Amino acid sequence: LENFAGDQVLRVEPCNEEQVRLLKELRALEPLQLDFWRFPSYPNEPADVQVPFACLQDVKVFLESRGIKYCVMIEDIQAAVDEERREMYLNQRR
């Protein structure tokens, strides 16, 4: 079972074409293992990206150093997965 402890989902809001282009470059960086839930598309359209804990600092530095606005949308994916698993267990027992 893959563990997502500490993985976060960031909502990134590029404000111009250049920032969209930078996000597309970020997406292509294989070692970061980013999972875009909503791909970068147009300025002012948010992109959602799941970032493994090990790469959080790299990604946040990348965004901040280029002035790309973002916020943390999900703090800890594993906590959400655990909650879902608990719900499923309760449902099965019921």
Instruction: Give me the residues that bind other proteins (CB under 8 A), please.
Output: 1-2, 4, 9, 11, 27-28, 30, 35-42, 45, 48, 50, 73-74, 77, 80-81, 83-84, 87-88, 91-92, 94
Exposed (0-12), middle (13-18) or buried (19+): which is 73, by Cβ within 10 Å?
A: middle
Q: Cβ 88 to other proteins, closest distance in Å?
A: 6
Q: Cβ 60 to other proteins, closest distance in Å?
A: 18
Nearer to other proteins, 65 or 90 (CB): 90
In angstroms, the CA 72 to CA 66 distance is: 17
Name 27's Cβ contacts closer than 8 Å, sequence gap at least 6: 34, 36, 39, 40, 49
Nearer to other proteins, 2 or 65 (CB): 2
Give just the sign of the alpha carbon dihedral 84, 89, 90, 92.
positive
Q: What does the DSSP 8-state code read for residue 2?
A: -
Nearer to other proteins, 64 or 83 (CB): 83
Nearer to other proteins, 33 or 57 (CB): 33
